[in-house]
Structure 1
């Protein structure tokens, strides 16, 4: 593959679109972003707020702590944070700069302001509509299909921006259908590191920093520390523990940013931190580490393209399999080792469901990274899962397609049932 090829350019652009910084769990941050923008359009602090959200948004915002709020959690907290302290031009870092005074204002706002939350189903998985009111005035902002995709801005009934929402099409992003394992492998071999150095440097810096903080602090269930205390600090355990620690930190109020993948900080951590840890352990060198990270990130994005941004299928599974691919490459594996690692990993943990963002995500990440590592060592030792073994079929692309079908179509009812369970609590 040459740098002049359209596919090469598309892959570089996909990495730049997906590997962006975010503070906190991305669904409450997207909600805060919509609320901040709505407040800007209204021009003043509202006295009433309506949040309409799809079930998957409700599921992913319900239980997670919103950063820079002094441990507030849930949809009203995310909306209040955006309204009081949000800077909409910072997008997924919308509440990265919050003063102590603003935190107190958030609490006062939550106490005195009606914030109504309504579950809506407009036929898409990712849907946030925030309407803010002040007297006779109101402003509305809608985000659809991905975290920064504002498709409607309205004030007092006048539409200032309206972009048609055509199903779950991701308008404005590079077509992900160009991704396939063979081309990803070709791209990684041909890659001029300078084309992606900035995004990968930021991913390494941010995601390892929050991982280290997770191990130092007391966050969530402290899965990383439990793993290290129980199983020792060999490279396989460290790879799992450090990824889990980063998740525990960001799910439980840590105010450090992460670089996301497929719209998810947990997935960004999962497909990068284990790869960086292995590269350092093996003294792979900078060039090989960057190529392994490009491989892992693109493999994760490729899998998630068929599943969608939000699903009842745990995104850590895709990212863990992708991390396994990066690790296989660092261990001198070739294309066959990489694709069989992915298939093996998916066969092991594709049954993990997503029941929203919260502390147990860290444990699911540890299990998914473990599956990625085991998937590689299985193939290295002459073992693999074959076509006909459950959802595994002949060929890596066919298996990834099956997983996409499982996650997007097969688990729709599962997702609805999970949401009902969570809402009824």
Structure 2
């Protein structure tokens, strides 16, 4: 393939497949707070966390890793300020210890952190205002979880993103398309991606096994394994759901994320690792399938955006199903059929925030994508213009993106309204 596309695809994988501890939205808050405290140079006496609706939605119900079980925006911000290391990026809370947790609880008891809904068109938007000893720091994050766009100390702007707050990625995602993704997966030199892919397998399977202990949430992985007939699909669904549940339940093991989401990183990788191991496929087939799955997830999410009312488990599970078709030697036509069959089935799953029930949505989405795979392998697919299915798979993907990004804006507002009103 063209050298420039090859290099861009490598860079996309390196930018997207990065480690993160816990749900990425509270980690973004902790990262911002850790950086703001470093600039402030003192323990904060007052913090105001202004968050977009999607940040509030995705932080409200998840347990923060290394927190001793704490939940919520204020806890994530204060813990980041007290014990976070911003140089660790999305693993900012890796070094938190018991004294940090105790100090965080003390500060939370004093209500040092207030939370406000930020009126903004940017779905991923955080402004942290931190005060101590007569000094103030204001730090802003926009579009990406670690994309600091502005830092101001007192009246002096000490950092401002020259890209004016746009997504900080360097690689050109407009080059993504299904044909080139497949060609890249077919031909990429494995030494160019092996370190990224092996890290994803290692991390995401480790948290899957941890989730299967049943210590988190409802123990969904074990319930699936014990309640359904033994099969590859049962094992895929149970381990993938278990990984998500552990992550949402506060497990401190890192996950290799995709498109800013640990659940998407899990759903686009764990099913393939399980499938390949069950069939005893050679590593190179798994690695190429993971390259395909990860890039297809990014391709879909490019149209939807990082956060929306559209559940990202659908996009990632769709990619997994298509990658299984790819893994067993399915033609491009059958790969397209897998994608269309999935998106004809489950494009209506909403995102009502990050929480342990995300694991159930992943299990349902994988069931749909595996069905889509089997239909495709029997050369069956829903006809163009059946519902939202378009004549070309690229048009279907763009249509789903339009629904998720634009069409569901009002849905997102209603979800947030319901979630906030339930706290009163």
* Structure 1 segment 6-405 matched on structure 2, within 5 A: 6-163=4-161, 169-405=166-402
1:151-197 Cα distance to aligned partner (Å, 9 max, x none)? 11110121011126657x41343121110001101111111011111
Task: Name the CA distance, whole Å, in 2 between partners of 1:139 and 1:85.
Answer: 18
**Counterpart check, 1:407 vs 2:418:** no
1:114-150 Cα distance to aligned partner (Å, 9 max, x none)? 2111111222111011111013211111110011111
Alpha-carbon distance, 1:309 to partner: 0.1
Task: Name the CA distance, whole Å, in 2 between partners of 1:166 and 1:413.
Answer: 27
Task: Name the CA distance, whole Å, in 2 between partners of 1:68 and 1:328.
Answer: 38
Structure 1 runs of 4+ aligned residues shifted over 6 Å read none
1:346-366 Cα distance to aligned partner (Å, 9 max, x none)? 111110000000011000000
Alpha-carbon distance, 1:112 to partner: 1.8
Q: Matched residue of 1:196: which SS? A: helix
Task: Name the CA distance, whole Å, in 1 between partners of 2:134 and 2:102.
Answer: 27
Is the CA contact 1:47–1:113 (under 8 Å) kept in the aligned structure 2?
A: no
Task: Name the CA distance, whole Å, in 2 between partners of 1:107 and 1:171.
Answer: 34
Task: Name the CA distance, whole Å, in 2 between partners of 1:271 and 1:221.
Answer: 22
Task: Name the CA distance, whole Å, in 2 between partners of 1:391 and 1:205.
Answer: 37
Task: Name the CA distance, whole Å, in 2 between partners of 1:235 and 1:385.
Answer: 25
Moved more, 209-218 or 24-33: 209-218
Q: Matched residue of 1:216: which SS? A: coil
Is the CA contact 2:337–2:380 (under 8 Å) kept in the aligned structure 1?
A: no
Task: Name the CA distance, whole Å, in 2 between partners of 1:256 and 1:217.
Answer: 15
Q: Which runs of 5+ in 1 are unaligned?
A: none
1:76-117 Cα distance to aligned partner (Å, 9 max, x none)? 010011011000000100001111111111111111242111
Alpha-carbon distance, 1:338 to partner: 1.4
Alpha-carbon distance, 1:418 to partner: 0.4
Q: Matched residue of 2:212: which SS? A: helix
Moved more, 382-391 or 239-248: 382-391
Question: Normalized against structure 1, the TM-score is what?
Answer: 0.97
1:394-419 Cα distance to aligned partner (Å, 9 max, x none)? 11100000000000000000001101
Give the 3 Å change call, closer, same or farther, for CA 355–219 of structure 1 in structure 2: same
Task: Name the CA distance, whole Å, in 1 between partners of 2:335 and 2:14.
Answer: 23
Alpha-carbon distance, 1:12 to partner: 0.5
Q: Matched residue of 1:173: which SS? A: coil
Task: Name the CA distance, whole Å, in 1 between partners of 2:419 and 2:142.
Answer: 22
Alpha-carbon distance, 1:336 to partner: 1.6
**Counterpart check, 1:419 vs 2:413:** no
Is the CA contact 2:214–2:220 (under 8 Å) kept in the aligned structure 1?
A: no
Alpha-carbon distance, 1:14 to partner: 0.1
Task: Name the CA distance, whole Å, in 2 between partners of 1:421 and 1:166.
Answer: 33
